Amino acid sequence: MLRRTLLTSIAATPILAACATEGQTGPAVDPMAPLPEDNSSYARPAEARVSHVSLDLNADFERKVFSGTCKLTIAARPDAREIVLDNKGLVIRSVKSNGRDLQYTVGTHHEVLGAPMTVQLDGAREIEIDYESRPDASALQWLTPEQTASHKHYLFSQGQAIHNRSWIPTQDSPGIRQTYDARIVVSGDPKVVMSAEMLTPNGEDAGDGKRAFRFRMPQRIPPYLIAIAIGDLTHRDISQRAGVYTEPSVIDAAAAECVDMENMMRVAETLYGEYRWGRYDVLVLPPSFPYGGMENPRLTFLTPTFIAGDRSLVNLIAHELAHSWSGNLVTNAVWGDSWLNEGFTTYIEGRIDEELFGTERARMAEVLSWAALQRTLQTAEPGQTILHQNPGPGEDGPPSTIVYDKGAWMLRTIERIVGRTQIDTYLRSYFDRHAFQPMTSEWFLADIREHLVRGNAELESQLMLDQWVYQPGLPSNAQEPTATGFNEVAQAVTAFTNGGAPSQAWANWSTAQRQRYLQTLPRELPRARLDALQNAYGLNTIGNMEVRYDWLILAINNRYAPSEAAIETFLTSQGRGKFIRPIYAALMAQGDWGQGLARRIYARARAGYHPIVQVGADRIVNPS
Ligand code: BES
Ligand code: ZN
């Protein structure tokens, strides 16, 4: 009964129109469908939720702020008097509806969550907020010209998990899906790109030497996927619907590395159904980008460190592309269930990798992932190894090896038990059934029981679904993978450990084999043995950053002074958190030598890191 009243009241608002146009891409969904509680957001979606965001912002590089308006379209219960938004440090100038001022309050600021911003609706279902972001907004990195290849200003955003509230006043919860449009004004000639359809490829004259770029995202997305970059950008097509954006001096190398994009899309579509987002471009960012990749819809953001010159790290693109199904189409409703995004995606990444580059390469990746998972299982608190978690407000979930590797292992185990045809059919139907909707561990388990297990008691007990999701460690049906390509690596490690020379086979090894070699060499090596490795392979300057990282960890563990300059270069030439944090942590564990080095390098490098990485590294290098 209540439901019917809700739907009738909403029918008068533009929301229904938005749903109707989505008929092409997914079923119309009740805009007030129930959501689990998200303790990382102040929103109260059962009462009122944002359904559309319309930005009109000026990017001010001098002051490092966005300034302008954000119009929100709201779906609300008929009796809702207020809406609660997430606001992390935004300077609010006014909130209006149809030119009329609305009352609002901003509550106490929390360092991670920001503050609740409560607007008295007074019947309004569309509100306009006039505001400005702060120069230290945690989602934004305003780069100085020296930090870019083109030596021009550059800006990019990183929304996941809860940073977009530092530049957009909306409800920042992954279950509250929103469509968006934007008009972004810049001075001079930089280009603006967003995770949306580009309506003005070359911008429009906005007077005063300014240009305006307009965008539209007609599909409902979780708000952490709203993303922007501004800089000296050029574009090259890879296929009719796929392409690459970079600064001009990087475009040749990037395009060469990205040639497999269209093939990856076809593999994913064959497995999981149509790619529903129109174009698929990647943006290769300056080196301070804090992640390997970020799956912003239509426009994946990538670290330039994925350019190895031999396409050996393109699984990163496969991963971000896979999020077009797992994550962007079907989305974890709360961050404690992020394995539903990342574990599924890691599984799909492996399937794409296997189809494109063969089973051996895929098996080797699985063995590396299994080894990383075992290291975590041995060191982490048991409670930290559970897939479904309920972290406190703004707190981190489980370690990434649990979310990614244990999560993927659950799906690989299901695959082994039911067979590929069955799991592929099931996953494809799962993405169709839940397209453009949030997901929880509980809903997923109910869905797989209904559509795959179907009351088969024997299958139910073989799968151990509840153990996988709710218990620590690995269930007994997880099987250790093997890869024949690692047999010769194991022999080479033994030979070196027994005093032999570094393996000559290195020259022909793949990235995974090189990583396996460096990861399984004895953790303690005398200086002469490290010299032998460095002299044979030039590891201090090797172009593949994953390999160089594994080497530097080994070097640091042995306080190997000849790598000091290489450590400094590594920490100052890129800002990927996955590399940066463990390197500083390894240094800090090495007494005066490592701590002195870490502090000296950090003093110089910190300003170049993204705010997200600064926070993590501050804790490591300057522990309070
Ligand atoms: N969505 C993640 C990046 C992310 C995770 C941002 C958590 C913020 C919080 C992205 O898809 C990812 O997993 N990137 C990996 C790539 C990899 C596993 C191939 C990365 O950045 O290392
Ligand atoms: Zn991911």
Average pLDDT of the segment spanning 119-128:
98
Q: Tell me: pLDDT of 24 over 80.
A: no
Please answer whether residues 279 and 241 qualify as being in contact, where contact means their C-beta atoms are separated by less than 8 angstroms.
yes
Question: Three-class SS string for 169-203?
Answer: CECCCCCCCEEEEEEEEEECCCEEEECCEECCCCC
Q: If 0-12 CB within 10 Å is exposed, 13-18 middle and 19+ buried, where does residue 494 land?
A: exposed
Min mean pLDDT across 14-28, 111-125, 216-230, 462-476 is at 14-28
Q: Tell me: pLDDT of 17 over 90.
A: no
Nearest-atom index, ligand 1, CA of 338 = 7
Ligand 1, atom 2: closest residue by C-alpha: 294
- Bridge partners, 72 (sequence order): 53, 127
- With CA atoms as reference, report the closest residue to 18 among 60, 82, 74: 74
Average pLDDT of the segment spanning 71-91:
98
313 CB contacts (<8 Å, ≥6 apart)? 305, 306, 307, 511, 544, 545, 546
Average pLDDT of the segment spanning 227-235:
98
Q: Is the CB of 133 under 6 A from ligand 1?
A: no
Q: Is the CB of 292 under 6 A from ligand 1?
A: yes
- Which of 291, 296, 329, 576 best tests ligand 1's pocket when mutated (most atoms within 8 Å of CB)? 291
Min mean pLDDT across 1-5, 194-198, 400-404, 425-429 is at 1-5
Q: Is the CB of 153 under 6 A from ligand 1?
A: no
Average pLDDT of the segment spanning 25-35:
76
Nearest-atom index, ligand 1, CA of 292 = 21
Sign of CA dihedral 404, 407, 410, 414: negative
Identify the nearest ligand to the CA of 316 by its number.
Answer: 1
Rounded Cα gap, residues 358 and 337, in angstroms: 31
Ligand 1, atom 19: closest residue by C-alpha: 316
Identify the nearest ligand to the CA of 546 by its number.
Answer: 1
Model pLDDT, residue 2 = 35
95 is written with which tokens?
């909130």
Number of neighbours of residue 416 by Cβ within 10 angstroms: 14
Identify the nearest ligand to the CA of 301 by its number.
Answer: 1
Ligand 1, atom 12: closest residue by C-alpha: 293
- With CA atoms as reference, report the closest residue to 392 among 79, 61, 37, 73: 37
Sign of CA dihedral 36, 42, 48, 53: negative
Nearest-atom index, ligand 1, CA of 346 = 18
193 is written with which tokens?
């790109």
What is the whole-number distance in angstroms between the Cα of residue 294 and the centre of ligand 2? 7
Average pLDDT of the segment spanning 170-180:
98
**pTM of structure:** 0.95
Ligand 1, atom 1: closest residue by C-alpha: 294
Model pLDDT, residue 60 = 98
Q: Is the CB of 77 under 6 A from ligand 1?
A: no
Please answer whether residues 237 and 185 qualify as being in contact, where contact means their C-beta atoms are separated by less than 8 angstroms.
no
123 CB contacts (<8 Å, ≥6 apart)? none
Ligand 1, atom 22: closest residue by C-alpha: 292
Model pLDDT, residue 19 = 40
Q: Which helix (DSSP H) or strand (DSSP E) does residue 491 occupy?
A: helix 487-497
First to last CA, the chain: 56
Residues 386-445 pLDDT 10s: 999 999 998 888 999 999 999 999 999 999 999 999 999 999 999 999 999 999 999 999
Q: Is the CB of 610 under 6 A from ligand 1?
A: no
Rounded Cα gap, residues 74 and 417, in angstroms: 45
Rounded Cα gap, residues 554 and 518, in angstroms: 8
Ligand 1, atom 3: closest residue by C-alpha: 294
8 is written with which tokens?
């009738």
Ligand 1, atom 17: closest residue by C-alpha: 316
Q: If 0-12 CB within 10 Å is exposed, 13-18 middle and 19+ buried, where does residue 347 land?
A: buried
- With CA atoms as reference, report the closest residue to 280 among 238, 318, 229, 241: 241
Q: If 0-12 CB within 10 Å is exposed, 13-18 middle and 19+ buried, where does residue 58 land?
A: middle
Please answer whether residues 308 and 511 qualify as being in contact, where contact means their C-beta atoms are separated by less than 8 angstroms.
yes
Model pLDDT, residue 168 = 99
Sign of CA dihedral 137, 139, 144, 146: positive
Residues 555-603 pLDDT 10s: 999 999 999 999 999 999 999 999 999 999 999 999 999 999 999 999 9
Model pLDDT, residue 27 = 56
CA angle (79 as vertex; 78, 85 as ends), nearest 5 = 90
Q: Tell me: pLDDT of 266 over 70.
A: yes
Hey, which bits of 133-279 come out as E strands?
140-143, 154-157, 178-187, 191-194, 197-198, 204-205, 210-221, 228-231, 234-237, 242-246
Q: Is the CB of 323 under 6 A from ligand 1?
A: yes
Q: What is the dihedral of CA 463, 467, 473, 474, to 10 degrees?
A: 0
Residues 272-283 pLDDT 10s: 999 999 999 999
Rounded Cα gap, residues 172 and 174, in angstroms: 7
Rounded Cα gap, residues 347 and 538, in angstroms: 33
The overall average pLDDT reported for the chain is 95
Rounded Cα gap, residues 329 and 435, in angstroms: 5
- How confident is residue 21, by pLDDT bands cut at 50, 70 and 90? very low
Rounded Cα gap, residues 85 and 92, in angstroms: 12
Rounded Cα gap, residues 160 and 40, in angstroms: 12
Average pLDDT of the segment spanning 41-67:
98
Q: Is the CB of 295 under 6 A from ligand 1?
A: yes
Q: Which helix (DSSP H) or strand (DSSP E) does residue 599 occupy?
A: helix 591-605
What is the whole-number distance in angstroms between the Cα of residue 342 and the centre of ligand 2? 5
Q: Is the CB of 576 under 6 A from ligand 1?
A: no
What is the whole-number distance in angstroms between the Cα of residue 411 and the centre of ligand 2? 15
Rounded Cα gap, residues 47 and 59, in angstroms: 33
Catalytic residue IDs: 320, 404
- 585-593 contacts at long range (C-beta below 8 A, 24 or more positions apart): 585/620, 586/553, 586/556, 586/557, 587/556, 588/620, 588/621, 588/623, 590/556, 590/557, 590/559, 591/559, 593/559
Model pLDDT, residue 396 = 84
Rounded Cα gap, residues 524 and 529, in angstroms: 10
Q: Is the CB of 512 under 6 A from ligand 1?
A: no
Q: Is the CB of 353 under 6 A from ligand 1?
A: no
SS3 302: strand
Total residue count of the chain as it appears in this document: 624
